[in-house]
Structure 1
Amino acid sequence: MTAQTRILELRAELDQHNYRYYVLDEPSVPDAEYDRLFRELQALEAEHPELVTPDSPTQRVGGAALSAFTQVRHEVPMLSLGNAFEENDLREFDRRVVEGLDLPTGDLFGAGVAVDYSCEPKLDGLAVSLLYRDGLLVQGATRGDGTTGEDISVNVRTIRNVPLKLQGKGWPAVLEVRGEVFMSKEGFERLNAAQAEIGGKTFANPRNAAAGSLRQLDSKITASRPLEFCCYGVGQVSEAIADTHIGTLEKLKGWGMPISRELRHAAGIKECLDYYRDIGERRNALPYEIDGVVFKVNSLASQRELGFRAREPRWAIAHKFPAMEELTEVLDVEFQVGRTGAVTPVARLKPVKVAGVTVANATLHNMDEVARLGVMIGDTVIIRRAGDVIPQVMQVVTERRPADARAVHIPTQCPVCGSQVERTQLVKRSKGKETVSEGAVYRCVGRLACRAQLKQAIIHYVSRRAMDIEGLGEKSVEQLVDEGLIASPADLYRLKFEDIVDLEGFAEVSSNKLLAAIADSKRPSLARFIYALGIPDVGEETAKVLARSLGSLQRVMVALPQVLTYLPDIGLEVAHEIHNFFEDEHNRSVIAQLLENGLQLQEEGELAAEFAASTTLAGLIAKLDIPSVGPTGAEKLVAKLQSLERIIAADGIDLRQALAAKQADAVREFFLVESNQALARSVEAQLREFGMHWESEKKVAQGLPLAGQTWVLTGSLERMSRDVAKDKLESLGAKVAGSVSAKTHCVVAGPGAGSKLAKATELGLRVLDEDAFVAFLSEQGIAV
């Protein structure tokens, strides 16, 4: 087979894979196979540069930077759309369409004719035009002012789902495709994280990121950005394609053009409104940003009959969602104190309506974020609210800054208790060394003497996912603290009827209910109790790992950081947080009081079988982080000296028989320090005490059916809550994750599933609906 033949085969195969992946959403090969074929094509084209053509899948990497964009005149103007903001606006649009087409309207004797509309989400990106001649992409242009745009041909060629050559056959000789270039939410987050890591510019939202990426003079930058294209129509064509708008898009899809998966047909304005409400409810679950819905008269003949106004078609309208971003003023910046003492800046804003909700406060996260934004009191800012996400300040409009704007300063004393406010220190531990740097968070040092921290700690303790004490909301907790009735979680179990019955919001019935709920909380699972304690960086999953692995509160409380790191997903920093929490005398006192007041922890038992005799001496040596000694060096050391005591006592000669001189010297110097000897001995002693030591008795682990599998829940479930579904999966040994990846074993998708289901489909993962999931649980003997 000649190189030319193989190149043509590879291009055809890669084009087909791109079509199946980006357009049909039915990938036929794993990414690794695609990459292998792509690399083979690259190698062949490098050997035979004379065979490289512009439509090759390899020609998406970008070329030399341009000095400026040239202008492109649109043969058919790219007009904007009229907007509908209220339901009545859309009904008025429909009335104009019906009258413009001279269709019968409804009256007392019957309904009128319902107009057929196409419905598709209005992507929040940048409108572009792609011109194909004889099936080959020859030009890309921005919308510009609708008449003249910028030539971005080199840049659009780098977008992976833009076909350089059309698929199939039957396309017109001249075909101008129009659509939106956008960036998915996930791609936007990846881009901003990468930009922040290198100290580059971060973007306020996906639309800005897409626009900025597409209009780069250096197309190599564009090629590195996660841009996508979605077709929504055509401009100039040399021959008719179909009779309807939806038919046109389906034809384009057959030729390799990605179209919206949410494209729908609606018979009449009522179905349009139903679509608007439905996609509005699913908006936050979609993998991309949308700012409304576009409705178009589906019949192309009717479109021609309706024609255009000066700047917009009469046959299409954009029904916008309430704005997710708005401008407002920063009236002040106040500081809140959280459960762990973190002092957080909060912007007090001139009230403004965002996404249908009046917003008067927005988070500023921390002082590093205040500095990054450059926000000052008095500034005009862009704020954003998406779904249930706390409103946040996205950008400062510096040109509107008033002369009397004031800088934001962190208080030196806690605004609640007056204690000192200190900047946190970040301790990075590696190879026996600790590197200390300043953290982004400031903390009040008052701990539970600070009412704010006390209140937040108790609110966390009683919350649904923790001890689940019904009837103790934030206001009730604040009242109990303010009245001096509780000063720690343990005091909840000392409350009496007469203490609370006369408090505001309480009466005889509610007081008895609260006391009953407190009593009912005395038998928590070990995992719930660990989570309820509010250990820094220990969420529900880590609490479950601690409980399941170590099996008892006593083991968790005394576990050394080096021992904790043997457990799954617990790194050294979190291990130190756990150890330090239980080393604190006040925390140990509160736990003792809780147990004295009748708490009986459930699901305590032995060390998990998989951790019995699971460690090695070489692993222990490696965990001591001796400079220059990694796992391989530790193995060599143990092979020669056999025991920890012999390693500690070994002189340079013994050590150099096992290791290189530099490593041997490092081990000798490490163990000459008595505290290092003590640490190594205490770790070994604890491993023996827990039953994890290599000489301990090995237990047979009873394998759970889903052990080692990762599942994801998405959408709403009707027969059970997602929390219940999660508990059932975890009882079978599965890990329930919050995001979908190639390592996900199965996705359970209920109604309203969005981006996670889309990604699972892209990756070809197993997906169960609720009925199939319930059937699966029944097969495993789990009652629903």
Structure 2
Amino acid sequence: MTDAQTAAERLAALRSEIDAHNYRYYVLDEPTVPDAEYDRLFRELQALEAEHPELVTPESPTQRVGGEALAAFGQVRHEIPMLSLGNAFEEQDLLDFDRRVREGLDLPAGDLFGGGAEVDYSCEPKLDGLAVSLLYENGVLVRGATRGDGSVGEDISANVRTVRNIPLKLHGEGWPAVLEVRGEIYMPKAGFEALNARQLESGGKPFANPRNAAAGSLRQLDPKITASRPLEFCTYGVGRCDGELPGTHIEILHAFKRWGLPISRELKRAKGVAECRAYYDDIGARRDGLAYEIDGVVFKVNAIAQQRELGFRAREPRWAIAHKFPAREELTELLDVEFQVGRTGAITPVARLKPVQVAGVTVSNATLHNMDEVARLGVMIGDTVIVRRAGDVIPQILGIIAERRPADARAVHVPEQCPVCGSAVERTQLIKRGKGRESVSEGAVYRCIGRLSCRAQLKQAIIHFVSRRAMDIDGLGDKIVEQLVDRGLVNSPADLYTLAYEQIIVLDGFADLSTRNLLAAIEHSRTPTLARFIYALGIPDVGEETAKLLARALGSLARIQVALPEVLTWLPDVGLEVAHEISHFFLDEHNRQVIARLLEHVQLQGEGELHAEFAACATLPELLGKLNIPHIAVTGAQKLADRFGSLEAIITADWLDLRQVERLTEKAARSLREFFDQPGNVERARAIEAQLRAFGMHWESERQQAAGLPLAGQTWVLTGTLESMSREQGKERLEGLGAKVAGSVSAKTTAVVAGPGAGSKLAKATELGVKVLDEEAFLAALAQLNG
């Protein structure tokens, strides 16, 4: 036998023995050798691999120490989205969840003689760490990713390999050929305290809490740093699985444990909601004694078949809930109040606090919302305040301890000039519109009037403009935007399209490849849909769905820009206040200049005619109603329309004509005449009617068949991964054809598009007999529908 053969055999034996010790230590919590013996074996393995580097394998325990630092994290699209959980904060929330589960499963309800059928639940502590996905192929760890936004996460493969209790190769046998394991990476309390002690000794900044320490450790570009951190992993579920798994959640987790994956030692089964409540109370009482931070308990329907039957809603499963622990409150001192400037110029007071531990987190800042809240609390600088933190919610001040107020306490005043740009700060006005009149009052928000000349507003506006659901310019994170603005390279969203290679490569964190990638992403964003462009503009109170509605209904930017508030209210879910925000935004000369510059660089897609649904959608009585004429109600407006037939005839009607209108009171007739005796009201009414004609919404306009959209009235679901387009693009294509795109499958679903990695939605569709299309069939259907 050669030396190499002998070394290979010894290496294999050492690796196997060390893996077994790791399994007993991290998974079973039953170590069989002292630390000194483990260390001796590990050092022997290191020495032998140093002598025979050609025999080093990726699965070796020594390979957890990390490789070369990465330039940046890549993106991973989750084939099955990593959904968030609904939350229960009160006992009634948990009871309601159990009721919805039993109703969804059509189980017998309780009555005077019994509590009805009970559901089997799994119970696990909700670890306060970072959710991750681990992909195993043929038992070997090939990828690790963060949850991200649920659809796309960061590739942290090099870093997860350094976490000691994550097996690089699954143990035993019987695991699926492809297995995606989901769980939480966290930092135990003892490890966190030791890490902070080392940070302080080396002159570094301590971490605020274990969760931040874990998340920051996993996002290190240098895996060696991650390897030096005391991280642990706990499995809580499964994503993609090419193979068979047991029929209950608890059995699946125990199978994972046999394969070397750590699961919670607190995992238990509960029969019915009463046992769930008992588990919650028990672990809550033991919370402070646990080796790790938790912020609640996760309850899941145990039977996988029942999970599939219940399905999902929006972005969360119907079969699971996180029951959070009550928020914890502490007292601390308010050291100062500073003012931050947001995207719309809003000046927000932020409390700077003497650092205090609240629910396991060091809190040094808290929101004060606005100056009305400051007045309501009666808070002054120097006060002892009550601070509350609930889950991931920003800490807030609940009140003050008045008797502890020091003699030198100072009142909180809004700055007269913006703390960022020095522009004037003005208080907003609230305009309430009623029948024929407007009332103006002071709002709670103060705003900097500097707009994009204010760097704070400009930065936030650019960050929103480039975000994934807006112009989707990948690579322009917050820090990059700050650099671009601070260096004077970007003073408007339009300036992004004039950036040159030489300007980008000198930015911190950029090299040749990343520079070219950013330029390519900017280039790719030059052809946005109208809906994305409208959303990217950051119009106050206009979210993604309202932007889609504006684009779909009015069909062109030109119409949206000139649309009068009253005309906009003919669109569903657009109230008068939002309509005025939209109109004011496009009337603002500064905004018009920014849009004009943007249109020099981008070519809008999907512009066209007014949507058929809104052709001739307006009526004369509705127009009269939108004019808010005092004492003219719905019935009166209809009678006027029936009698005169046109707006012009109503405007010019004299007193005698109005007296001929059936059941129109003298008070209403006088009010109508007084309203139209004011030239401004006549001009406004005529302008609204003229725009309705120009848009094709007028009652005399040509009607079109809205039902002509081929998928009108249908509900589609997208699941899995599409190769030719993103799921978001697929959704846009379907919505453009009139379909509603839902997040869960039901008996009312028309069709399901299932790409690779489709999971519970595909199973539900098959169970219900819903039509299922693969990507090839989906593309063929789109081609046929588009003619």
**2:647 is matched with which residue?**
644
- Determine if contact 1:747/1:768 at 8 Å carries over to the other structure: no
**2:609 is matched with which residue?**
606
Q: 1:390 to 1:587 in 2, by over 3 A?
A: same
Q: 1:672 to 1:616 in 2, by over 3 A?
A: same
Aligned counterpart for 1:409 among listed residues 389, 410, 413: 413
1: distance between equivalents of 2:358 and 2:772? 42
1: distance between equivalents of 2:737 and 2:264? 39
1:529 aligns with 2:533: yes
Query: Deviation at 1:604?
Result: 0.7
Aligned counterpart for 2:508 among listed residues 504, 509, 512: 504
Aligned counterpart for 1:675 among listed residues 680, 697, 701: 680
**2:703 is matched with which residue?**
698
- Determine if contact 2:501/2:516 at 8 Å carries over to the other structure: yes
**2:694 is matched with which residue?**
689
**1:5 is matched with which residue?**
none
Q: 1:679 to 1:106 in 2, by over 3 A?
A: closer
**2:667 is matched with which residue?**
662
Query: Deviation at 1:565?
Result: 0.5
Give percent identity, aligned residues only: 61
1:607-641: CA deviation from partner (whole Å, max 9, x where unpaired): 10011111111211111111111221111001111
Task: Specify every segment of 5 or more residues in structure 2 that has no aligned partner in the other structure, as ranges.
Answer: 1-24, 34-85, 93-108, 117-248, 296-324, 783-787
1:450 aligns with 2:485: no
1:514-543: CA deviation from partner (whole Å, max 9, x where unpaired): 222111110000000001111111111110
**2:294 is matched with which residue?**
321
Query: Deviation at 1:274?
Result: 4.2
Q: 1:168 to 1:415 in 2, by over 3 A?
A: closer
Q: 1:693 to 1:361 in 2, by over 3 A?
A: same
1:399-458: CA deviation from partner (whole Å, max 9, x where unpaired): 554444333221122111122211110001121211111111111112222111111111
Aligned counterpart for 1:778 among listed residues 769, 773, 778: 773
2: distance between equivalents of 1:487 and 1:165? 69
Aligned counterpart for 2:495 among listed residues 476, 479, 491: 491
**1:617 is matched with which residue?**
620
> 1:219-368 counterparts in 2 under 5 A?
274=263, 293-294=280-281, 321-322=294-295, 324-327=327-330, 328-354=332-358, 356-368=360-372
Aligned counterpart for 2:656 among listed residues 637, 653, 656: 653
1: distance between equivalents of 2:333 and 2:361? 17
- Determine if contact 2:339/2:347 at 8 Å carries over to the other structure: yes
Q: 1:531 to 1:582 in 2, by over 3 A?
A: same
Task: Specify every segment of 5 or more residues in structure 1 that has no aligned partner in the other structure, as ranges.
Answer: 1-90, 96-104, 109-120, 128-161, 170-261, 280-285, 297-311, 751-766
2: distance between equivalents of 1:427 and 1:569? 20
> 1:694-733 counterparts in 2 under 5 A?
694-702=699-707, 719=721, 727=732, 730-731=735-736, 733=738
Query: Deviation at 1:777?
Result: 6.0
1: distance between equivalents of 2:278 and 2:462? 40
1: distance between equivalents of 2:540 and 2:441? 19
SS in 1 for 2:379: coil
2: distance between equivalents of 1:329 and 1:711? 54
SS in 1 for 2:707: coil
Root mean square deviation, CA, Å? 4.7
Q: 1:569 to 1:612 in 2, by over 3 A?
A: same
- Determine if contact 2:458/2:491 at 8 Å carries over to the other structure: yes
1:167 aligns with 2:120: no
1: distance between equivalents of 2:702 and 2:358? 62
1:469 aligns with 2:473: yes
Q: 1:599 to 1:624 in 2, by over 3 A?
A: same
SS in 2 for 1:412: coil
SS in 2 for 1:424: strand
- Determine if contact 1:292/1:321 at 8 Å carries over to the other structure: no
Query: Deviation at 1:669?
Result: 0.9
- Determine if contact 1:123/1:290 at 8 Å carries over to the other structure: no
**2:385 is matched with which residue?**
381
**2:374 is matched with which residue?**
370
1: distance between equivalents of 2:778 and 2:251? 39
> 1:730-749 counterparts in 2 under 5 A?
730-731=735-736, 733=738
1:440 aligns with 2:444: yes
Aligned counterpart for 1:630 among listed residues 623, 630, 633: 633
Q: 1:776 to 1:679 in 2, by over 3 A?
A: farther
Paired residues in the alignment total 502
- Determine if contact 1:333/1:377 at 8 Å carries over to the other structure: yes
Q: 1:405 to 1:777 in 2, by over 3 A?
A: farther
- Determine if contact 1:711/1:745 at 8 Å carries over to the other structure: yes
2: distance between equivalents of 1:722 and 1:396? 49
- Determine if contact 1:417/1:450 at 8 Å carries over to the other structure: yes
2: distance between equivalents of 1:394 and 1:746? 49
TM-score by length of 1: 0.56
SS in 2 for 1:360: strand
**2:519 is matched with which residue?**
515
SS in 2 for 1:344: strand
**1:578 is matched with which residue?**
582
- Determine if contact 2:721/2:727 at 8 Å carries over to the other structure: no
Query: Deviation at 1:318?
Result: 13
Query: Deviation at 1:295?
Result: 5.1
Query: Deviation at 1:771?
Result: 3.6
Query: Deviation at 1:329?
Result: 3.2
2: distance between equivalents of 1:317 and 1:499? 52
Code of the residue aligned with 1:640 in structure 2: it is: R
Q: 1:424 to 1:122 in 2, by over 3 A?
A: closer
Q: 1:782 to 1:393 in 2, by over 3 A?
A: farther
- Determine if contact 1:292/1:318 at 8 Å carries over to the other structure: no
1: distance between equivalents of 2:700 and 2:681? 22
Query: Deviation at 1:358?
Result: 3.6
1:419 aligns with 2:419: no
Code of the residue aligned with 1:700 in structure 2: it is: Q
1: distance between equivalents of 2:373 and 2:593? 37
Code of the residue aligned with 2:114 in structure 1: it is: Q
Q: 1:642 to 1:123 in 2, by over 3 A?
A: closer
1:150-194: CA deviation from partner (whole Å, max 9, x where unpaired): xxxxxxxxxxxx99965389xxxxxxxxxxxxxxxxxxxxxxxxx
Code of the residue aligned with 1:449 in structure 2: it is: S
SS in 2 for 1:702: helix
2: distance between equivalents of 1:344 and 1:124? 28
Code of the residue aligned with 1:589 in structure 2: it is: Q
TM-score by length of 2: 0.55
1: distance between equivalents of 2:655 and 2:291? 79
SS in 2 for 1:464: coil
2: distance between equivalents of 1:531 and 1:371? 34
Q: 1:590 to 1:661 in 2, by over 3 A?
A: same
**1:560 is matched with which residue?**
564
1:557-588: CA deviation from partner (whole Å, max 9, x where unpaired): 01111110101110111111111111111111
